[in-house]
């Protein structure tokens, strides 16, 4: 079966030993056998030893393709997702990493899942993206899309920071803590989960605020509806405070700066596994129900 001539598959790969190279080779061979055009990111081109193949940087790839296949872990997928907001290019994540909440397709499922994508029968789910903007003295300093989370925290040697949190213009609280995580439902199983925050199912249109080591023990995570912006103002802190988006990009924050985090009008479509539900994914990745000797 030949694919639609307008179909172009982007391939992103994290450098891996034999497992990654084998999956990449199978993927390219499968596409070529069906006459499907593809574009490689630089890492995939190196791994595949295809110097003559079309190559595009990750930030440009979503503009040139109709589907992106990510071979790697959740971090690799996040590096693609932040360049995919504003478009409607689905991402198929093939898990070659250690956990794989976002890259939920196994290598055994890769080609059947790709077949479903090319035939228009794959199930995709639009995941909420947050826009995090850093404002200083009324001026926009930087902005970042966040599929997982935006985190304001101190560096390892900095003192505890004091922040003011407002939701939709209403004062929520002032807190002294190591920092604050603002996570999407997608990101609730990432840093938020490690910090003691709740798991939100991906269909929930909400965000969760999880304090990091708060000075007041009654300060607990709170789930918001996600409709109103969250403003975080640094009231007191050293020069070593940082805003981080998805653990991959960010900017230093100064005393008096305000970080506004709000839902983006654009989401990121992820291709879902056809063989397991989200709850099955949780059981598998978190080991729920597993008996140990």
| Catalytic residue numbers, as ranges | 74
Q: How far is the C-alpha of 12 from the C-alpha of 7, rounded, in Å?
A: 16
**What is the rounded distance in angstroms from the CA atom of residue 126 to the CA atom of residue 124?**
7
Q: Which residues have C-beta within 8 Å of that of residue 157, sequence separation ≥ 6?
A: 240
Across the beta sheet with 241-245, the strand order is: 222-224, 207-212, 179-184, 149-154, 241-245, 249-253
Q: Return the sign of the alpha-carbon dihedral for residues 103, 41, 126, 274.
A: negative
Pairing of strands 241-245, 149-154: antiparallel
* Unique residue bearing structure tokens 């004062």: 171
Contact assessment for residue 69 and residue 94, using Cβ atoms and an 8 Å cutoff = yes
Query: Residue holding tokens 């003295």?
Result: 137
Number of Cβ within 10 Å of residue 146's Cβ equals 30
Pairwise CA distance, residues 105 & 93, whole Å: 6
Q: Give residues with Cβ within 8 angstroms of 2, minimum separation 6.
A: 34, 35
Rg over alpha carbons for the chain, rounded to the nearest Å, is 20
**Three-class SS of residue 37?**
strand
- For helices 18-33 and 110-118, angle between their N-to-C axes, nearest 10 degrees: 30
């Amino acid at each position: 079966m030949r694919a639609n001539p307008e179909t172009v598959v982007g391939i992103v790969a994290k450098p891996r030993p034999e497992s990654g190279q084998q999956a990449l080779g199978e993927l390219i061979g499968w596409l070529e056998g069906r006459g499907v055009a593809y574009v490689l990111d630089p890492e995939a081109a190196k791994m595949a030893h295809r110097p003559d193949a079309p190559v595009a940087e990750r930030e440009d790839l979503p503009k040139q393709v109709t589907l992106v296949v990510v071979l790697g872990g959740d971090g690799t997928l996040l590096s693609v997702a932040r360049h995919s907001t504003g478009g409607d290019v689905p991402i198929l994540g093939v898990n070659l990493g250690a956990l794989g909440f976002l890259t939920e397709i196994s290598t055994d499922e890769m080609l059947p899942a790709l077949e479903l994508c090319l035939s228009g029968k794959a199930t995709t789910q639009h995941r909420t993206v947050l826009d995090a903007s850093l404002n200083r003295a009324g001026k926009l300093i930087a902005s970042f899309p966040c599929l997982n989370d935006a985190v304001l925290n101190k560096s390892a040697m900095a003192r505890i920071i004091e922040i003011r949190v407002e939701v939709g213009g209403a004062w929520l609280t002032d807190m002294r803590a190591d920092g604050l995580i603002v996570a999407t439902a997608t990101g609730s199983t990432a840093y938020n989960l490690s910090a003691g925050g709740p798991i939100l199912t991906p269909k929930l249109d909400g965000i969760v605020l999880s304090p990091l080591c708060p000075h007041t023990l009654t300060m607990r995570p709170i789930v918001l509806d996600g409709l109103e912006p969250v403003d975080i103002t640094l009231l007191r802190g050293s020069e070593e405070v940082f805003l981080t988006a998805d653990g991959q990009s960010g900017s230093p924050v100064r005393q008096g700066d305000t970080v506004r985090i709000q839902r983006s009008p654009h989401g990121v479509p992820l291709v879902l596994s056809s063989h397991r539900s989200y709850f099955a994914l949780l059981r598998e990745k978190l080991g729920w129900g597993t008996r140990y000797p």
